[in-house]
Amino acid sequence: MREITYLEAVREAMTQEMERDERVFLIGEDIGEYGGAFQASYGMLEKFGPDRILDTPITELGLTGAAVGAALIGMRPIAEIMFMDFTTLASEQLVNQAAKIRFMFGGNATIPMVLRTPAGSGTGAAEQHSQSLENWFVHIPGLKVVMPTTPYDVKGLLIASIRDDNPVVFIEHKLLYKTKGEVPEEMYTIPLGKADIKREGSDMTIIATSIMVSRSLEAAKKLAEEGISVEVIDPRTLRPLDSETIINSVKKTGKVLIVHEAVKTSGFGSELAAMIAESEAFGYLDAPIQRLAGREMPIPYNRNLEYNTVPQVENIIEAARNLAALRV
């Protein structure tokens, strides 16, 4: 199978869905001639024209509101917010409108829209362009939240999200854009709400999201050389969450390490830990649930400080070693 980058898989998913369904269109800042902040829509203006690749003024609230309105009348918009940090400006339309309209109308109205946004640190973009705010949106009933890790997953999940009749917050980590993987040329979907076991193991389960899945897999390889067998679970969608796959893995291994980039306080790891503690898996635990997350501070501009603000491979290895030695 051919290999393409994560970024190319994003572009291919959007292109194929726009070719298949004339109701799909893109809206955002600099997505046309410039091709998007990270070039996700590069070349699409020439292919589809300005009626379907809509460049907007600098107004995240406005473009998100336009997407909500378009979805209400039967279109299927893909709205791009340049950086996840700027979803703070779009949150009124996303949280107070898009998430609630289907409920308020008793299911008679749907909001089939996708809000795509790059998140995370590692590019030296500093405090206001490097945040991981996924759990803000996981908290809101009515929103679906997707965080793909691989090129294969990003294409299948993005197509599924575009076809979904609910608003989807689709989060792409900036450092993943250049990563490569096998991706079929034909269209395919991956169901929202289905986790993936990226690596099987027997001594502990690592549940990781986004870029931390890649780092956890690298850590698992090195830990295997020390005789520690690690199972790595990628939820892929945070809401809806595939709790069954996670619970079954915890029951098998008896130990859990949760890894994410966002700060630990009220991060997605808190929800995962609570879900495991409240489930039948609790009785199978051989050690307390452990969390490894970003430091309780904004992301610094300085590269060395930025590197040490979020979990790296060596931090995951150290946390896993400590967990392997723990007993209840």
Beta strand pairing call for 196-199 and 168-173: unpaired
Record the tokens describing residue 89, joined without a space. Answer: 């400006």
Contact 77, 71 (CB under 8 A): yes
Calculate the alpha carbon distances from 13 to 9, 17, 152 in Å. Answer: 6, 6, 10
Rounded CA-CA distance 129/119 in Å is 8
The catalytic residue positions are: 129
Q: Alpha helices of the chain — where are they, by DSSP H?
A: 6-20, 44-48, 60-72, 87-91, 99-104, 134-138, 151-163, 211-224, 243-253, 268-277, 303-307, 313-325
Q: Tokens 């792409």 — which residue?
A: 172
Contact of 33 with 55, CB cutoff 8 Å: yes
Q: Rounded CA gap, 68 and 4, in Å?
A: 32
Phi-psi region of 142 (alpha: psi -120 to 50; beta: other; left: phi over 0): left
Torsion of CA 108, 111, 112, 118, to 10 degrees: -160
